[in-house]
Chain A
């Protein structure tokens, strides 16, 4: 039942917030190095699916296996550790820590893993170079543009060389030019690092950077590749 070679697989996920069923039997799987777009209208449960897959939210029922390990059996601190070392995150509004400089923001996930400050910032700077924002290293997030900030956020999500990158509407707050640039850099970087990308978006032009897409509607998911 698990597609062979999948890195992250979810089966029959259900999650309710009060009376609303955000997820109602959703399925998901992704291979290493694959970019999968999660599409669907607002309120369909896309973000909830992402939060469940990333171990931020615990589903009411269903199973999620990462690399053969069942997530439901992990306690909170193990899931946190998993997120720190194996996963990366990009959100719609960057969510950079406003007090830290850009390079400190990028270095933050490494430092959470216990890397020394110097080492972390050196790695951070090399990622910022790849995303063409190394000249912003000393600036605070409030002093850079939205597109730049989002690229810093992408650098931050990749700095730990995660095996899965979760991106929730990464271009939602950007214009098309900046959005495309961010997507280009994000997918290039992820592919070269062989990281899988779970890309939640409602924009098809953004989804066009994916290898395949699944559609979430009313809490149910549809893998378009297997339908056709």
Chain B
């Protein structure tokens, strides 16, 4: 300062004009931010064809993930909706006393049936007064001979090959059941009008009197802890790879973006600006993904209305994502996209003249990577052995333990790939090319494989758990299919012999055996000792015991049944016993006296066709007092000729003809918990979807990488490199990290499986076939990806790549 103006004369100091290169003041920072983000968005959409393809890929990738997430959040509410509907049409009241007959009551008979293996829910309705309750979805009671049906049943009845079902349900259809009376769009159900159900009241268990269809508000059914563990693990196992996939999807086209950012640096953007611009790009990709995802979800939801999965169908309106979770997804996905992008840019310095990866990335350290899976094991360890006592798993500990173990894979894999690949050496040219490339960028390779590894590890663990727990949840029914395929009871209103005859006359029935059961007490009222009484022809009785000889009029005492100590005691000739004794507080029994005959014979036990070893007395019909005949509960066992088409439906039709309330039961050799089954099927479907998703992202990044190397590939072809060599090197390049990933996945998966089995207190056994199957599927994904990337590779290897002019 040379001239010092006097304070008085000095004009008020004007604020200096801000120059362009001076740092801006605080205020415009927000504007600066939004401008950078907007610029990123612009880049995302205006990159020409290439740009659009990238946005589309990201959108579809993220969208599929989002749709899967939304579906997941909608499942609980769908299940709740189903159980609410089910509860609103309950006609079996447990633990409540039956209402007395009034004008507010109705009689309901359960006439469920099966057709071609499909379950049909059937009810007969008989209002007992004008104020009788109507089931939900039904406008008015169908008159006898009429019925209202669900839309699915209606179309089934109208279809060509359902003649047998039409014969079985010979009622006139007068209406359809509304959505409020059904639990799913594909449910088969009908309500038929009936008359005189009261006569079955004390005879057939499926007939009840009710004054409302609204069931007691049920405490939400507690899932078996082991099942809960399974469900939690399935969700974690399926959603983790989706997360990994979304993370990969937002990085599609990353290299090209880096170069664009470098160009921006050249024209004056600073480092932070480029990061914000990159964030803007990722953000818009994720937002497009959210829109796509919502679209996919809505389409899927509509499709779900017409689909039936694991015998469960839902109405689209059931699939409503829990609002909180939906908002969480809408916020978390874009946030994760930005976070992943910024994280990926962390190791990258974008210089005006190009992208510099931090020269030598710090050697990957092992210790903190090991902490994750070890921490997961630590969380799971305290719960070992809890499965069978009270089975109280802490959901949070289970979930985070499993997540930590699986995340541990994504942390360990890069280290392992780096460590192993650094030691790989000599080999063919293709091998050398692949290995060297992996050595230079093992991180990228590992990232690509992470998703597959997590999915496979989870699936292996679950398979083990399933295989281990399977025996607990699969009960052998003990039913002997070589002796009978169908068992049915007959109401007392029809003659057993007539019924048997009709059944034997039915096409495909080889034999029908009738065994009638009752009890024998030492007194007529409240006997302190009672044994089984079985009535049947000699042929029939031979199905229930080993008889030395048998003639009509004989009686036998079964000896040697473990739980039955009373029979040998009571089997002294001349002892007076009572058929169908009465018990305090129960209905009046027949109390018909019967004397043990002098020539009572001894019989050895044998399992009957239903798998039951019965004790007590066996007598032929003529040895039974006539008065006692009605007190016996007749069961008919049918042996079928399975080569006759639809033989089971033919039998069901005859049964319905005999009396609609007969209830034929089809025998199976074993019966699994249905819920367990659907979890297992769900896992398979989910794992397939997830692996397909990951395969798609692998393919995209593979192609991107190849395109980057177009010139080099052409040069390699110029000096005579065989196409086979290059294709093989592409294969190795994917196969090496995937193989390592699969090995790690197997180790972690087996560990997790062992821990989970120990938690459920099940014997540890490795299910090798499923380990092989899962790793095989993982390997198949690699092969498919390589196979799909070979044609573009061959195209890229054409000499056009050398043309520069």
Contact = CB atoms under 8 A, between A and B. Distances in A.
Judge A-B direct contact (beta carbons within 8 Å): yes
Interface of A: 42-43, 47-48, 51, 54, 56-57, 77, 80-85, 87-89, 91-93, 95, 97-101, 104, 108-109, 111-112, 117, 140, 156-157, 168
A35 B432 CA distance: 34
Find the residue from B718, B721, B804, B805 having the highest chain A CB count within 10 A: B718
A112 B721 contact: yes
Given A84-B720, A100-B436, A112 B803 contact: no
A56 B799 contact: yes
B437 A99 contact: yes
A47 B805 contact: yes
B779 interface: no
Contacts of B805: 42-43, 47
Nearest to A50: B802
Interface string B21-41: 000000000000000000000
B735 interface: no
B719 interface: yes
A227 to B, nearest CB: 25
18 contacts: A47-B803, A57-B799, A80-B720, A80-B721, A83-B720, A84-B719, A89-B715, A95-B716, A97-B716, A99-B433, A99-B437, A109-B719, A111-B432, A117-B432, A140-B440, A156-B719, A157-B719, A168-B802
Nearest to B441: A99
A77 B723 CA distance: 9
A211 B547 CA distance: 116
A37 to B, nearest CB: 17
B429 A111 contact: yes
B770 interface: no
B432 A100 contact: yes
B255 to A, nearest CB: 13
Contact of B720 (A57, A81, A98, A99): A81
B722 A95 contact: no
Given A48-B803, A95-B711, 8 more contacts: A51-B802, A77-B722, A95-B712, A97-B712, A99-B440, A104-B432, A104-B436, A112-B429
Central interface residue in B437, B711, B715, B799, by most chain A CB within 10 Å: B715
Interface string B411-448: 00000000000000010010011001101100000000
Nearest to B713: A95
A8 to B, nearest CB: 16
Contacts of B433: 97, 99-100
B83 interface: no
A97 B733 CA distance: 15
Which of B433, B712, B720 has its CB near the most chain A CB atoms (within 10 A)?
B720
A142 B414 CA distance: 23
B794 to A, nearest CB: 11
A47 B802 contact: yes
A204 B566 CA distance: 119
Contacts of B715: 89, 91, 95
A100 B719 CA distance: 16
B717 interface: yes
Interface in B665-715: 711-712, 715
Contact of A51 (B440, B720, B799): B799
Contacts of B429: 108, 111-112
B155 interface: no
A83 B440 CA distance: 29
Contacts of A98: 440, 712
B436 A83 contact: no
B725 interface: yes
Contacts of B712: 95, 97-98
Contacts of B799: 51, 56-57
Contacts of B711: 93, 95
B161 to A, nearest CB: 58
B439 A89 contact: no
A112 B720 contact: yes
Please name the 8 residue pairs, one residue from A and one from B, whose CB atoms are nearest each other, closest first: A84-B720, A95-B715, A83-B720, A99-B436, A56-B799, A99-B437, A89-B719, A80-B720
A80 B722 contact: yes
B804 A109 contact: no
Nearest to B719: A89
B612 to A, nearest CB: 72
A87 B720 contact: yes
B720 A109 contact: yes
Given A100-B432, A100-B433, A117-B426, A56 B440 contact: no
Contacts of A82: 720
A181 B720 CA distance: 27
Contacts of B803: 47-48
Contacts of A104: 432, 436
A145 B399 CA distance: 53
A56 B432 contact: no
Contacts of A57: 799
Interface in B772-805: 799, 802-805
Nearest to A142: B440
Nearest to A101: B436
A57 B433 CA distance: 25
A26 B711 CA distance: 26
A85 B432 contact: no
Q: Residue among A48, A56, A100 with the most chain B CB within 10 A?
A: A56
A109 B722 CA distance: 11
Nearest to A162: B719
A132 B429 CA distance: 26
A87 B432 contact: no
Nearest to A45: B805
A42 B803 CA distance: 12
Nearest to A51: B799
A199 B426 CA distance: 35
